[in-house]
C-alpha cells in the first residue's frame, strides 16, 4: 500500500510538472512575440503582371452559408480573366442545388465558376482539394471554408508576398462573425485569437515552423506539388502539408493585418467535435512528421518548437491524468501528514494558469480596445480548457488504439453578431452520450473533492479542484442542456446516409 501511495503521489507530481513545462512554453512564445513584433512581414515588391489565381471552396452540406461563400469569392477584387473559382462540392443534401444555382448566376455575370462534384468523399477535404488542384489553372491557390467571408481586397492584400520565389504560403488571421453570440463563442474567440495573434506571429517572426489553418490563406501551386500534395492520412491535412512544405525549404508568411471573419460554433457539441478532430489530427501529424523533423538538418530551436507545437494536444491527456490523480494524491498526503507538500502544488499549477492568462490577455490587447474586459472571462476560459480534457484526451487515446476516424465537419448556421438560432436549423452535431455521462461523473467527482478540501482545510489545493469542478460542470451541463433542447437531426443522419451512399457508389 505504501508503494502504491508513493507511486500515485509521484505520478501526480510528474504530471503536474509536465503541464508546467507546457505552461512555460507559453511564456517562450510570448518572448518570441515581443522580440519579433516590430519585424512584421511586408511584401518585398509588387507582382507584375498579376498571376492567375484559383479559389477553392470545399463544401459538404452547407445550405445556410454556401450562397454567401460563392458570392464573396466572386466579389474578390482581382482581374476576372485571372481568377478561377472552384466549388468542390461533396454534399449529400440540397446544398448542391443551391450551389449550382448561384454558380450559374455568377457565370452569367462573367465569372469563371466551376461547380465540381466527385460523387464520393474519399479523402474527405484533402481528397477534394487534391482533385480540384489537378484541374486548376491558377499559379496560386486560395482556400476558404464555407463559413468564411473574405473581404474583396483579400487577394490583392496577400498576392504580393509571392514576389519572393521561396514563399510557399501566406496565412491571414481569422476573425469572428458571431463573437458576442454567447459566452461560449466569446471564449472560443479568445482561444483562437491567442493561436493567431501570439502563436503564429511568434513562430513566423522567430523563424520557426507554423501552419496553414485550412482556410483564409493562399498557397503557391508549386509548393503544394513539390511537397507531396494534399494527403488524407491525417485529419489535419493542412498541418501535415505545412510541415512537409517547410521541411522542403519553403517559407511561410503570417499576414496578421489581414482578417477574414468566420462563424464560431455556438453548439457545445459542435465545438467539442471540432476540438476532438483538431486534437486527433495534430497527434496523427506528430506521429507522421516528427521523426523527419528530428532527423532533418534544422536549427535546434526549430526542432524544439516543432516538438511543442505538434504535441501540444498531448497536454489534454496530461490534464485528464491529473484529473484522476489529484484527489487520491491530496488524500494520501493528508493521511500521511505531508500537508506541506501541498504548497508545491500551487506554484506548479500557477505556472500553467498564469502563463495561459498572460498569453490570452496579450492577444486580446492586440486586437481589441476593450481587452481588459477579458479579465472576467479568464477563470471560465481556463475552466473550459480543463473541461475539454476528457473530450480531447479521447482523441489521443483513440489514436493509441490505432482507431481511424472520419472527417466530421463542423455545422455552420449563418450566425452573425447575436443574431440567428442554431437550434432551429437542420444541421446539428451528434454527441455520444457516454462522453457526456463521463463529464458529469468528473463534475460530481470534483464537487466531492471541493467539499473534502474545504472540510480538511487543504486550502492550497482548493483553487485547483475548483477549476476542475467548474470546467467539467460547464461542459457537461451545456451538453445536457443542448440534449434537452432537441435531438440531432438531418446533419448527422445525412452524414451517415451520405457516406453509405458514397461507399455504395465507390464500390
Distance in angstroms (rounded) separating the CA atoms of residues 374 and 189: 11
Q: Which residue has the cell 477534394?
A: 128
Cell output for 496: 451517415
Distance in angstroms (rounded) separating the CA atoms of residues 363 and 365: 5
Residue 193 annotated to the active site: no
Distance in angstroms (rounded) separating the CA atoms of residues 4 and 7: 5
Residues counted in the chain: 507
Distances from the Cα of 463 to the Cαs of 341, 467, 492, in angstroms? 16, 6, 39
- Positive or negative CA dihedral for 433, 434, 438, 439? negative
Consecutive H or E run containing 112: strand 112-117
Q: What 8-state DSSP symbol labels residue 210?
A: -
Strand order of the β-sheet with 112-117 is 112-117, 83-89, 53-59, 140-143, 217-220, 167-176, 251-262
Contacts of 3 (CB under 8 A, 6+ apart): none
Residue 180 annotated to the active site: no
Contacts of 217 (CB under 8 A, 6+ apart): 142, 143, 158, 169, 170, 171, 172
Distance in angstroms (rounded) separating the CA atoms of residues 253 and 259: 14
- The answer to whether the CB of 408 falls within 8 A of the CB of 270 is no
What beta strand segments (E) does 155-250 contain?
167-176, 217-220
Distance in angstroms (rounded) separating the CA atoms of residues 361 and 375: 8
Distance in angstroms (rounded) separating the CA atoms of residues 304 and 487: 45
**Exposure string (b/e) for 407-430, b if CB count within 10 Å is 16 or more?**
bbbbbbbbbeeeebebeebbbbbb
- The answer to whether the CB of 252 falls within 8 A of the CB of 194 is no
Distance in angstroms (rounded) separating the CA atoms of residues 415 and 147: 9
Question: Which is nearest to 245 in space by CA: 284, 289, 203?
Answer: 289
Contacts of 123 (CB under 8 A, 6+ apart): 130, 230, 232
Cell output for 481: 442542456
Find the catalytic residue in 238, 267, 269, 414: 238
Q: What 8-state DSSP symbol labels residue 411?
A: P
Cell output for 350: 500557477
Please, what is the end-to-end C-alpha distance for the chain in angstroms? 57
Catalytic machinery residues? 90, 238
Amino acid at each position: 500500500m505504501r508503494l502504491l501511495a508513493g507511486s500515485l503521489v509521484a505520478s501526480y507530481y510528474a504530471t503536474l510538472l509536465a503541464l508546467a513545462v507546457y505552461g512555460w512554453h507559453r511564456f517562450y512564445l510570448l518572448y518570441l512575440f515581443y522580440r519579433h513584433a516590430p519585424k512584421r512581414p511586408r511584401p518585398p515588391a509588387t507582382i507584375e503582371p498579376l498571376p492567375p489565381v484559383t479559389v477553392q471552396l470545399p463544401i459538404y452540406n452547407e445550405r445556410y452559408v454556401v450562397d454567401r461563400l460563392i458570392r464573396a469569392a466572386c466579389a474578390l477584387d482581382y482581374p476576372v480573366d485571372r481568377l478561377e473559382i472552384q466549388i468542390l462540392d461533396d454534399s449529400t443534401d440540397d446544398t448542391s442545388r443551391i450551389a449550382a444555382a448561384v454558380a450559374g448566376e455568377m457565370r452569367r455575370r462573367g465569372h469563371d465558376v466551376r461547380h465540381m462534384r466527385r460523387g464520393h468523399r474519399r479523402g474527405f477535404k484533402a481528397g477534394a482539394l487534391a482533385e480540384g488542384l489537378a484541374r486548376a489553372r491558377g499559379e496560386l491557390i486560395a482556400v476558404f471554408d464555407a463559413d468564411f467571408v473574405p473581404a474583396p481586397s483579400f487577394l490583392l492584400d496577400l498576392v504580393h508576398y509571392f514576389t519572393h520565389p521561396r514563399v510557399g504560403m501566406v496565412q491571414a488571421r481569422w476573425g469572428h462573425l458571431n463573437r458576442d453570440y454567447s459566452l461560449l463563442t466569446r471564449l472560443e474567440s479568445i482561444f483562437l485569437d491567442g493561436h493567431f495573434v501570439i502563436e503564429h506571429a511568434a513562430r513566423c517572426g522567430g523563424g520557426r515552423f507554423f501552419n496553414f489553418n485550412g482556410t483564409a490563406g493562399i498557397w503557391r501551386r508549386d509548393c503544394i506539388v513539390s511537397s507531396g500534395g494534399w494527403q488524407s492520412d491525417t485529419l489535419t491535412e493542412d498541418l501535415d502539408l505545412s510541415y512537409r512544405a517547410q521541411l522542403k525549404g519553403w517559407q511561410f508568411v503570417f499576414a496578421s493585418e489581414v482578417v477574414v471573419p468566420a462563424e464560431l460554433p455556438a453548439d457545445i457539441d459542435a465545438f467539442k467535435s471540432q476540438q476532438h478532430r483538431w486534437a486527433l489530427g495534430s497527434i496523427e501529424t506528430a506521429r507522421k512528421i516528427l521523426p523527419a523533423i528530428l532527423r532533418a538538418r534544422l536549427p535546434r530551436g526549430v526542432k524544439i518548437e516543432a516538438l511543442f507545437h505538434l504535441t501540444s494536444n498531448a497536454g489534454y491527456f496530461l490534464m485528464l491524468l491529473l484529473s484522476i490523480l489529484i484527489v487520491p494524491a491530496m488524500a494520501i498526503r493528508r493521511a500521511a501528514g505531508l500537508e506541506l507538500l501541498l504548497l508545491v502544488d500551487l506554484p506548479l499549477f500557477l505556472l500553467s494558469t498564469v502563463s495561459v492568462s498572460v498569453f490570452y490577455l496579450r492577444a486580446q490587447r492586440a486586437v481589441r480596445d476593450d481587452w481588459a474586459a477579458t479579465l472576467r472571462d479568464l477563470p471560465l476560459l481556463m475552466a473550459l480548457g480543463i473541461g475539454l480534457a476528457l473530450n480531447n484526451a479521447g482523441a489521443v487515446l483513440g489514436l493509441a488504439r490505432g482507431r481511424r476516424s472520419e472527417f466530421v465537419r463542423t455545422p455552420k448556421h449563418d450566425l452573425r453578431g447575436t443574431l440567428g438560432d442554431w437550434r432551429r436549423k437542420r444541421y446539428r452535431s451528434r454527441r455520444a452520450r457516454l462522453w457526456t455521462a463521463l463529464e458529469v461523473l468528473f463534475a460530481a467527482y470534483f464537487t466531492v473533492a471541493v467539499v473534502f478540501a474545504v472540510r480538511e482545510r487543504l486550502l492550497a489545493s482548493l483553487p485547483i479542484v475548483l477549476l476542475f469542478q467548474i470546467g467539467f460542470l460547464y461542459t457537461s451541463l451545456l451538453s445536457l442542456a443542448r440534449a434537452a433542447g432537441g435531438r440531432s437531426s438531418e446533419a448527422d443522419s445525412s452524414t451517415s446516409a451520405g457516406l453509405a451512399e458514397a461507399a455504395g457508389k465507390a464500390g
